[in-house]
Amino acid sequence: MNSRPKYKTKQKEILLEYFETVPGQHITASDVCEYFKSHGSPIGQSTIYRHLESLVNEGILNKYVFDPNTPACFEYMGSESHKECDSCFHCKCEKCGKLIHLHCDELEEIQAHLYKEHRFKLDPLRTVFYGVCEDCMKSE
């Protein structure tokens, strides 16, 4: 729905290359900024934000927001559609803030159930399960 890129630029190219090296990881805008700064090819932060937005619109990245005043996280979903994470939970620990990927078929059942019984089409990509992770349970 927003500006579709018409030119192929160096910045966009290396940005995508970077994300391809960190599949399944959660990256913030400032992570990206730092990365390119420390690699000798800095990219302006507004450029980064603008690319992140358009990549999200294209479905190449996924965006997660956990709190205001906390940077949003972006995850590379592959340029093909999001097959890999169709069966992937995202769990966020309320104690330590850790983000966990769980690959599990159970999610599909939940999805099917919500759809059949409650007429609600779950979006697994945006849904985050909050709770307490194993490590933090131990130290409680």
Q: Which residues bind DNA (CB under 7 A)?
A: 3-12, 28-30, 42-47, 49-51, 53, 68-72
Contact (Cβ atoms closer than 8 angstroms) between residue 115 and residue 122: yes
Binding mask 47-66 for a second copy (x = CB under 8 A): ------------------xx
Element (H, E) at 45: helix 45-58
**Which is nearer to a second copy, 71 or 78 (by Cβ)?**
71
68 binds a second copy per the rule CB under 8 A: yes
45 binds a second copy per the rule CB under 8 A: no
Distance, in Å, from the CA atom of 95 to the CA atom of 105, rounded to the nearest integer, reads: 26
* Minimum distance from residue 135 beta carbon to DNA (Å): 24
20 binds a second copy per the rule CB under 8 A: no
Q: Which stretch binds a second copy (CB under 8 A): 19-27, 38-46, 76-84, 131-139?
A: 131-139
Non-local (6+) Cβ contacts of 128 within 8 A are 64, 66, 90, 91, 92
> If contact means CB under 5 to 8 A according to the sort of partner, which of a second copy, DNA, none does residue 30 touch?
DNA
Query: Following DSSP, what letter does each residue of 51-91 receive, concatenated?
Result: HHHHHHHHTSEEEE--STTS--EEEE--SS-SGGGTTEEEE
